[in-house]
Amino acid sequence: MIKELLIKNKSKIVDKWIQSIYNSYPPEASKFLGNRKDRFGNPVGYIIADSAEKIFDEFVNNNNNERIKLLLKEIIKIRAVQDFTPSQAAGFILSLKEVIYKELELEVKSGNYFNEFILIDVGIDNIALMSFDLFMEAREKIFQLRTNEIRSRSMKIID
């Protein structure tokens, strides 16, 4: 069963995935982000690592969309205000595919688990689509908050 393999290789897969997310930051920062022990001294690194691990657990065990969405949102909110294009900001989930396939290369090549890999593939695509929704949600929130500020300022001037 692939599920067991995923659980067994969890720490390797999750670590590599998290690292690939960190690597999307400038190299001088990605190393720092990788020091994820300090929840308050290093919020970006911590939130990425913490949420990514939980997303993986949820994906492997229950695959509950609502739960995944909540976790995903934490990361997307950060990347939506940083220097990323939309695809970079929301597409980080796709690198999980790559990491899984590389880690389970033998199983992929054996062809024995074709159906299960299709499920993983579709599942991650599904999460990627959710990411784009969440990215848009975050951006809309930003624009809404910005608009509120502009409005309240011009109200003061009109008054």
Partner 1 sequence: MNIIFSLLTIAVLIVLAVLGAGTIKLDFLFGIIFPYAAVSVFIVGIISRVIKWAKSPVPFHIPTVAGQQKSLPWIKSSKLESPSSTPGVIGRMALEILLFRSLFRNTKSGLIDGQKLVYGSSKYLWLGAILFHWSLLVIFLRHFRLFMQPVPSFVLMLQNIDGFFQIGVPELYVTDILITAALLYLIYRRLADAKLRYISLASDYFPLFLILSIAATGILMRYFYRIDILKIKEFAVGLFSFHPSVPQGIGILFYIHLFLVCVLVSYFPFSKLLHMAGIFLTPTRNLANNSRMKRHVNPWNRPVRVHTYDEYEDEFRDKMEDSGLPVEKSNSLERN
Partner 2 sequence: MSESKLKPEELAGNIKYEPKEKDWLDPSVEFKHGVFNYSGIPKNVEYLQQPNPRKWQPTDKDWQLPENWKQIILEGLRDRLHRFRSLQIFMDICVRCGACADKCHFFLGSGDPKNMPVLRAELLRSVYRNDFTLASKLFGKFSGSRELTVDVIKEWFYYFFQCTQCRRCSVFCPYGIDTAEITLLVRELLNLIGINIDWIITPVANSFRTGNHLGIQPHGFKDSIDFAVDELEQITGIKVDAPINKKGAEILFITPSADYFGTPHYYTLLGYLALFHEIGLDYTWSSYASEGGNFGSFISHDLMKSLNAKIYAEAKRLGVKWILGGECGHMWRVIHQYMDTLNGPADFLEVPVSPVTGTRFENTRSTKMVHICEFTADLIKNNKIKLDKSRNDHRKITFHDSCNPARALGLIEEPRYIIKNVCNNFFEMPENTIKEQTFCCGSGSGLGTDENFEMRMRGGLPRANAVKFVKEKHGVNFLGCICAIDKATLPPLIDYWVGGVDVGGVHELVGNALIMNGEKERTTDLRGEPFSE
Q: Which does 37 bind (CB under 5 to 8 A by kind): partner 1, partner 2, none?
A: partner 1
Site size with partner 1, rule: CB under 8 A: 11
Would you count residue 115 as binding partner 2 (CB under 8 A)?
no
- Residue 13: burial class (beta carbons within 10 Å; 0-12, 13-18, 19+): buried
Q: How far is the CB of 111 from partner 2 (least distance, A)?
A: 16
Q: How far is the CB of 4 from partner 2 (least distance, A)?
A: 23
Per-residue mark of binding to partner 2, 70-109 (x: CB under 8 A)? -------xx--xxxxx-xx--x--xx-xx--xx-------
Q: Which does 31 bind (CB under 5 to 8 A by kind): partner 1, partner 2, none?
A: partner 1
Residue pointed to by tokens 């919020």? 43
Closest among 73, 92, 82 to 138, alpha carbons compared: 73
As a whole number of angstroms, the distance between CA 38 and CA 67 comes to 24
Question: If residue 59 lies in a helix (H) or strand (E), which one and from where to where?
Answer: helix 43-61
Q: What is the number of other CB atoms lying within 10 angstroms of the CB of residue 23?
A: 15
The answer to whether residues 76 and 135 touch, using CB atoms and an 8 Å cutoff, is yes
Q: Which is nearer to partner 1, 54 or 77 (CB)?
A: 54
As a whole number of angstroms, the distance between CA 65 and CA 84 comes to 25
As a whole number of angstroms, the distance between CA 126 and CA 137 comes to 17
Q: Which residues of this protein are in contact with partner 2, per CB under 8 A? A: 20, 23-30, 32-33, 39-44, 47, 77-78, 81-85, 87-88, 91, 94-95, 97-98, 101-102, 138, 141-142, 145-150, 152-153, 156-157, 159
Q: Which residues of this protein are in contact with partner 1, per CB under 8 A? A: 27-32, 37-41
